Amino acid sequence: MSLLRFITCGSVDDGKSTLIGRLLYESKMIFEDQLAALERDSKKVGTRGNEIDYALLLDGLQAEREQGITIDVAYRFFSTDRRKFIVADTPGHEQYTRNMVTGASTADLAIILIDARKGVLVQTRRHSYLVSLLGIRRVVLAINKLDLVGYAPEVFARIEADYRAFAAQIGLPDIVCIPISAVHGDNIIEPRGNTPWYQGPMLMEHLETVPVDDDLQAQPFRMPVQWVNRPNLDFRGFAGTIVSGSLHQGDLIKTQSGHESRVLRIVTADGDLQKANVNQAITITLADEIDISRGDLLVASDSKIAIADQFEAMIVWMSAEPMLRGRSYLMKIGYKTINVTVSPLKYKVNINTLEHLAADKLELNEIGACELELDQAIAFEPYTVNRDLGGFILIDRMTNDTIGAGQLIFALRRSQNVHWQEVDVNRHVRAKNKNQKPCVIWFTGLSGAGKSTIANLVEKKLHLQGKHTYLLDGDNIRHGLNKDLGFTAEDRVENVRRVAEVAALMADAGLIVLVSFISPFRSERRMARSLLPKDEFIEVFIDVPLNIAEARDPKGLYKKARNGELKNFTGIDSPYERPEAAEVVIIDTDTLEEAAERIIKVSQHTENLHGKAQSSSKH
């Protein structure tokens, strides 16, 4: 039996408590004595006349029951034959944003409730934004109170369309819309006959079968050391919870300071394990004596660790005392507690309209982006890659209260002590799906050298092998993305910069990208290279002398340039800086076929290229 944690988002009026009460009731989690107390309370303070007010079941603290609101995060539990569920039940009003963020921090899925009579409201947008901010990928849009609109399919269809349009804007990928009536039980467990036009899953069925995220399992092994176990001189174990990947006995691991060792044992009270998976709490021993203490990160030896001390971060403020720039707080991230100073606040987010607003402080329940300076460098991953390695809380030194929560977005480049090596595991997952090694093959050379012709043939051959490719051609890009650019040195730099960024994005998406651009300047090619991991940038220099290119002149451009009709033409009145260490050099005596084959071979075996690919020293 697996475990699904989810959060319900909605306001009192959306029927959130009724829905949870209904789920508990339908899964037989409400006992007779509780039902008796509920009936008693419903008559006393209920809002549904003599009917059972499920909401009363949930509002645990007496103050809440008297005021009829849910102030805090409450956790509910129910299970079916297939799954155990933990529900974070949080209030929906804007002034309880911090509670919702707390509940969402551990959720795998969110149910966003909409009142069918009202459609997508400001609060729906707010809840959805928070869900997306906290990195919850799976969303159920429960369009509730359908009984009150006569179970009209067009109401459901309109709300679904509205919502999907909005969700696309904020990047919520996986949405299932279900028409329900929590009060009457429509489409919770079974259809009940009121919505014959609805063919999708029942709510409970969906919750029982939605895949529990296994993205983390596919990532490289990572475990922050929580506690060093030294019961005697003969045993030195490192205890922690695996936050991504898996670990086998005998695996090579390394620490953030670069020390390597082999895993001798994975120790548990039930005997040693051969293998441990993500989310398991384990104790390991190592073959070598390495200095490791609480808070250090252990990773698979063949993976990279990013270490930095300055970050851009998103912060949710949870204290009545505002967050101010220049102020210093304690930051707990993983098992480390360190000093952090808030440098400029970049903006705060209007969580209803998603607008970015200028700000110099964050008030209670506000969300904003700022720069953080830590007093020591830490090993980290962006929050979007790993919640445990990129999520943190801020603590007030005087009161010891938790006053904010945040996410590391990226390390700032000026960050000192940066051994910044991009670790973006998602790209590998995506590439794995495509069964290929993504890369950028960057063709550079004079106009007329044959870049486009060769690139075209390379792409055709890769395509025949079933690879997913895309060719970015200089001329074509200048018709669209870069049509605002001319041929001055500044515009050429910008031209290459944009293309390089686009190529890096495409490679990140798992594609093999071919870029055919004159790209005359070394610094821009170096910049393009710096956007990609070491083995994923293949510079192909089509080394054709100027006189041969000019003799070919397929587009008649050299002629125009010589006649002064074209200014800043590379090779004529604008320089071409030859690559110093291209991975592949094609010369004019190579046949087309030979050239294409060589490029493909090199691009698929880049691990052997380290020696040659040293030209850029960006890491």
Which residues between 202 and 261 bind other proteins (CB under 8 A)? 212, 214, 217, 226-227, 229-231, 235, 237, 239, 241
Residue 391 or residue 579: which is nearer to other proteins going by CB? Answer: 391
Residue 73 or residue 557: which is nearer to other proteins going by CB? Answer: 73
Judge contact between 207 and 4, C-beta under 8 A: yes
Q: Considering CB under 8 A, how many residues would be counted as binding other proteins? A: 72
Which of 194, 384, 402, 530 binds other proteins (CB under 8 A)? It is 402
How far apart, in whole angstroms, are the C-alpha atoms of residue 81 and residue 237? Answer: 38
- Rounded to a whole number of angstroms, the minimum distance from the CB of residue 203 to other proteins is 20
How far apart, in whole angstroms, are the C-alpha atoms of residue 619 and residue 617? Answer: 6
Residue 20 or residue 582: which is nearer to other proteins going by CB? Answer: 20
Give me the amino acid identity at 191: P
How far apart, in whole angstroms, are the C-alpha atoms of residue 134 and residue 37? Answer: 36
| Tokens at 40, concatenated | 């008693």
- Rounded to a whole number of angstroms, the minimum distance from the CB of residue 135 to other proteins is 10
Contact status: 84 vs other proteins (CB under 8 A)? yes
Residue 102 or residue 516: which is nearer to other proteins going by CB? Answer: 102
Helix (H) / strand (E) containing 443: strand 439-444
Residue 124 or residue 244: which is nearer to other proteins going by CB? Answer: 244
* Options 64-72, 122-130, 190-198, 538-546: segment touching other proteins (CB under 8 A): 64-72
Radius of gyration of the chain (CA): 29
Residue 337 or residue 568: which is nearer to other proteins going by CB? Answer: 337
How far apart, in whole angstroms, are the C-alpha atoms of residue 201 and residue 203? Answer: 6
For the chain, the distance separating the N- and C-terminal CA atoms, rounded to the nearest angstrom, is 45
Residue 519 is a catalytic residue: yes
* Options 74-82, 184-192, 465-473, 534-542: segment touching other proteins (CB under 8 A): 74-82
- Rounded to a whole number of angstroms, the minimum distance from the CB of residue 123 to other proteins is 21
Tell me which DSSP letter residue 80 carries: -
Nearest to 601 by CA among 501, 461, 491, 489: 461
Nearest to 296 by CA among 268, 330, 259: 259
Residue 94 or residue 553: which is nearer to other proteins going by CB? Answer: 94
Please provide residue 6's backbone torsions phi and psi, each rounded to the nearest 5 degrees.
-140, 165
The contact pattern for other proteins, residues 22-41, with x = CB under 8 A and - = no contact, is ---------xxxx--x---x
**Is beta strand 306-317 parallel, antiparallel or unpaired with respect to 275-276?**
unpaired
Judge contact between 305 and 222, C-beta under 8 A: no
Of residues 482 through 521, those in contact with other proteins by CB under 8 A are none
- Rounded to a whole number of angstroms, the minimum distance from the CB of residue 405 to other proteins is 5
Which of 27, 79, 194, 568 binds other proteins (CB under 8 A)? It is 79
The contact pattern for other proteins, residues 567-606, with x = CB under 8 A and - = no contact, is ----------------------------------------
Residue indicated by tokens 């890369």: 439
Which listed residue (17, 519, 603, 616) is catalytic?
Answer: 519
- Rounded to a whole number of angstroms, the minimum distance from the CB of residue 235 to other proteins is 6
CB neighbour class for 422 (10 Å; exposed up to 12, middle 13-18, buried from 19)? middle
- Rounded to a whole number of angstroms, the minimum distance from the CB of residue 361 to other proteins is 20
Of residues 41 through 60, those in contact with other proteins by CB under 8 A are 41, 57-60
- Rounded to a whole number of angstroms, the minimum distance from the CB of residue 477 to other proteins is 42
Residue 249 or residue 530: which is nearer to other proteins going by CB? Answer: 249
Nearest to 249 by CA among 221, 229, 226, 217: 221
| Tokens at 507, concatenated | 């490679």
Residue 207 or residue 507: which is nearer to other proteins going by CB? Answer: 207
Listed in sequence order, the DSSP H helices in 346-438 are 387-390, 425-434
- Rounded to a whole number of angstroms, the minimum distance from the CB of residue 335 to other proteins is 7
- Rounded to a whole number of angstroms, the minimum distance from the CB of residue 212 to other proteins is 6
* Options 93-101, 340-348, 365-373, 527-535: segment touching other proteins (CB under 8 A): 93-101
Which of 99, 144, 452, 616 binds other proteins (CB under 8 A)? It is 99
- Rounded to a whole number of angstroms, the minimum distance from the CB of residue 174 to other proteins is 18
Mapping DSSP to helix (H, G, I), strand (E, B) and coil, where does residue 252 land? strand
Nearest to 14 by CA among 77, 91, 94: 91
How far apart, in whole angstroms, are the C-alpha atoms of residue 4 and residue 7? Answer: 10
Neighbours of 609 (CB within 10 A): 17
Which of 392, 442, 537, 569 binds other proteins (CB under 8 A)? It is 392
Nearest to 514 by CA among 505, 528, 525, 503: 503
Which CA distances in Å does 131 have to 94, 100, 174, 255, 365?
A: 14, 9, 12, 33, 15
Which of 274, 400, 547, 591 binds other proteins (CB under 8 A)? It is 400
Which of 192, 346, 361, 387 binds other proteins (CB under 8 A)? It is 387
Which of 18, 102, 123, 495 binds other proteins (CB under 8 A)? It is 102
Which of 3, 170, 320, 548 binds other proteins (CB under 8 A)? It is 3
Judge contact between 307 and 355, C-beta under 8 A: no
Which of 52, 101, 305, 531 binds other proteins (CB under 8 A)? It is 101
Residue 75 or residue 197: which is nearer to other proteins going by CB? Answer: 75
Of residues 266 through 295, those in contact with other proteins by CB under 8 A are 267-270, 277, 279-281, 283, 294
Residue 156 or residue 238: which is nearer to other proteins going by CB? Answer: 238
Neighbours of 261 (CB within 10 A): 20
Please provide residue 546's backbone torsions phi and psi, each rounded to the nearest 5 degrees.
-55, -40
Please provide residue 403's backbone torsions phi and psi, each rounded to the nearest 5 degrees.
-110, -5
- Rounded to a whole number of angstroms, the minimum distance from the CB of residue 536 to other proteins is 28
Which of 106, 194, 384, 574 binds other proteins (CB under 8 A)? It is 106
Which of 8, 18, 105, 181 binds other proteins (CB under 8 A)? It is 105
* Options 8-16, 94-102, 125-133, 410-418: segment touching other proteins (CB under 8 A): 94-102
Residue 12 or residue 71: which is nearer to other proteins going by CB? Answer: 71
- Rounded to a whole number of angstroms, the minimum distance from the CB of residue 597 to other proteins is 40
Neighbours of 265 (CB within 10 A): 17
Residue indicated by tokens 């041969």: 548
Residue 520's beta-bridge partner residues? none
Q: For residue 21, what are the contacts with CB-CB under 8 A and spacing of at least 6?
A: 30, 54, 55, 57, 58, 182
Of residues 314 through 333, those in contact with other proteins by CB under 8 A are 318, 330, 332-333
Q: Which residues are catalytic?
A: 519
